[in-house]
């Protein structure tokens, strides 16, 4: 019971940091003094590690810097159709690209007419619409929210629940008017059609809990070969 309380404390604290800060990149690294279980903390750390794979989305605000050419350094917002506009080269399509790929494209266009071997960097200053999926899922990640997405669709995007997940306890933390709500959903009930599959919003934080029973079962399976060997000896 204490473990569940600690997890809820962690999720709310993480959501406060990640959601109420306006979804800026500074909120990607979650800091909390709550007595959190190590598993969710590790899961969120692994999500941060995948940020380099994040694909730029509409309404993201980007920082574009060209080494030693300060006049070309710009803060720009991605339009709804996925473009940014920069000096000299005009409109550049960046939606769906990683920041590294976007930087390469900008450098190529600058090199084509204006500069020799330009060094360009791009990073996301503020995310427009994204969802963070962590905890006991197969591929923790940050995904852009394009149109409508439900909880089960988001979990599928992360490869589904992990082998140690508690499918009856999947959290969705959300900022509402300066406050953070944390709702728990039963994925089995949703898939059975007896519970509603919630529609997600930009900035939502999803955390799948770890099942104590599944952990014990896995440990038993891992120990079984040693038990058989001991009986032989």
pLDDT of the chain along its 233 residues, tens only?
445 555 555 555 555 555 444 444 333 323 332 333 444 444 444 444 445 567 888 888 999 999 999 999 999 999 988 999 999 999 999 998 999 999 999 999 999 989 999 999 999 888 777 889 999 999 998 888 877 899 999 999 999 999 889 999 999 998 766 688 899 999 999 999 999 999 998 888 999 998 875 555 555 555 555 444 444 54
Q: Give the DSSP per-residue string, 190-202.
A: HHHTSS--PBP-T
Query: What pLDDT score does 111 carry?
Result: 95
Give the Cβ contact number of residue 150 at 10 Å.
Answer: 14
pLDDT in the model for residue 216: 54
Give the pLDDT of residue 32: 30
Pairwise CA distance, residues 26 & 21, whole Å? 8
Distance of CA 10 to the CA centre of its chain: 16
Which pLDDT score is estimated for 39?
43
205-210 and 165-176 strand pairing: antiparallel
Under CATH, to which class is 61-126 assigned?
alpha beta
The DSSP call for residue 175 is E
Give the model's pLDDT for residue 65. Answer: 96
Domain boundaries of the chain, sorted by first residue: 2-54+128-216, 61-126
On the question of a common fold for 2-54+128-216 and 61-126, the answer reads: no
Superfamily of domain covering 2-54+128-216: Outer membrane lipoprotein wza domain like (3.10.560.10)
- pLDDT score at 52: 59
Q: What is the pLDDT of residue 142?
A: 86
């Amino acid at each position: 019971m204490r473990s569940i309380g600690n997890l809820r404390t962690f999720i709310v604290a993480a959501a406060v940091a990640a959601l109420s800060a306006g979804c800026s990149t500074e909120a990607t690294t979650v800091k909390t003094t709550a007595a959190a279980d190590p598993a969710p903390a590790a899961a969120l750390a692994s999500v941060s590690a995948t940020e380099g794979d994040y694909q730029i989305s509409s309404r993201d605000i980007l920082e574009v810097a060209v080494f030693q050419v300060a006049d070309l350094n710009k803060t720009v917002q991605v339009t709804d159709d996925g473009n940014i506009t920069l000096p000299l080269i005009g409109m550049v399509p960046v939606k769906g690209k990683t920041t590294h790929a976007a930087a390469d494209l900008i450098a190529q266009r600058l090199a084509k007419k204006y500069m020799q071997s330009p060094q360009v960097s791009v990073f996301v200053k503020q995310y427009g619409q994204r969802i963070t999926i962590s905890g006991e899922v197969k591929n923790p990640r940050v995904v852009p929210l394009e149109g409508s997405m439900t909880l089960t669709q988001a979990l599928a995007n992360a490869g589904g629940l992990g082998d140690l997940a508690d499918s009856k306890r999947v959290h969705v933390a959300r900022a509402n008017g300066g406050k953070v709500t944390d709702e728990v959903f039963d994925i089995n009930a949703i898939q059975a059609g007896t519970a509603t599959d919630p529609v997600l919003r930009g900035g939502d934080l999803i955390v799948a809990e770890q099942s104590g029973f599944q952990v014990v079962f896995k440990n038993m399976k891992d120990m079984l070969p040693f038990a058989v060997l001991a009986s032989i000896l």
